[in-house]
Amino acid sequence: MAFLKSFLTYLAIALFLIFATTGVHGEHEFPVGGRHGFWKVPSSPDVYENWAERLRFLIGDTLVLRYDPKADSVLQVTEQSYKICNKSDPIKSYGEGNTRIVLERSGPFFFISGAQGHCEKGQKFAVWVLSPKRGTHIHSPAPSPSDHHHLHHSPAPAPSSSGSRLIGGVIGGGVAAVAAAVLFI
C-alpha cells in the first residue's frame, strides 16, 4: 500500500509539472481560412470571418497566410480601418507571400488585404487572442459581444483543430483526481 501511495504521488507530481508548463500559452499554427492558408478573394464575403469565429487563439499562436506577393499583401489595421476597408494607415504591413504573424498579446487583431478592392469583397478577418487568465479555462466560451464591444459575432464553438488543448485539460483534470486520491489513501 505504501508503494502504491508513493507511486501515485510521484506520478501526480510528474504529470502536474508536464502539463503546468504547456497549458497557458499557445504555440499552434493556424493557416488562415483553412488547411492551406491561401490569402485570396473568398468565394463568399464571410469565409475568413467565419473561419476566425470558429477558433480560439492564445498568445504565441501563429497565423499563416500564403499569397502572390506581386498581387496582394496583408495589412494589420485598427478596428475602424477594418470596418471601412481603409488601407491608408496600417499598423503593420506584410508582403513577402508567406506571412507568419505571431500573436504576441491578448486582445483583438484586425487584418485586411492590401490589394485594391479585395477587402470590400470579404478578404479580411479579425481574431481575438485570449488573455493568459482566460486561456487557462479551455472549456469557457469565447468572449461574447456583450463582454467585448470589438466583436460583432456570437461565441465560437470549441476548436476542433486544437485537440491538444482539450487533451491537456482532460489530463490536467486527471492529475487533480490522482492527487486527490493520493491524499485519501
Q: How far apart are CA 114 and CA 154, in angstroms?
A: 27
CATH number of 29-161: 2.60.40.420
Mean pLDDT over all residues of the chain? 74
**Phi-psi label, residue 12: left if phi above 0, alpha if psi -120 to 50, beta otherwise:** alpha
Instruction: Look at residue 35 in the predicted model and tell me its pLDDT.
Output: 84
Beta bridge partners of 66: 38, 98
Provide the 8-state DSSP code for 117: T
**Interval 87-122: pLDDT, tens:** 999 999 999 999 999 999 999 999 999 999 999 999
**Interval 31-55: pLDDT, tens:** 998 888 899 999 999 999 999 999 9
Instruction: Look at residue 15 in the predicted model and tell me its pLDDT.
Output: 40
Q: How far apart are CA 139 and CA 174, in angstroms?
A: 15
Instruction: Look at residue 34 in the predicted model and tell me its pLDDT.
Output: 85
pLDDT band, residue 20 (cuts 50/70/90) = very low
- Side-chain half-sphere of 168: how many Cα atoms within 13 Å? 19
DSSP string, 141-161: PPPPTTT-TT--SPPPPPPSS
Alpha helix ranges (H) inside 79-147: 79-84, 132-135
Beta bridge partners of 111: 76, 125
Alpha helix ranges (H) inside the chain: 2-20, 47-53, 79-84, 132-135, 163-184
Per-domain boundaries in the chain = 1-25+166-185, 29-161
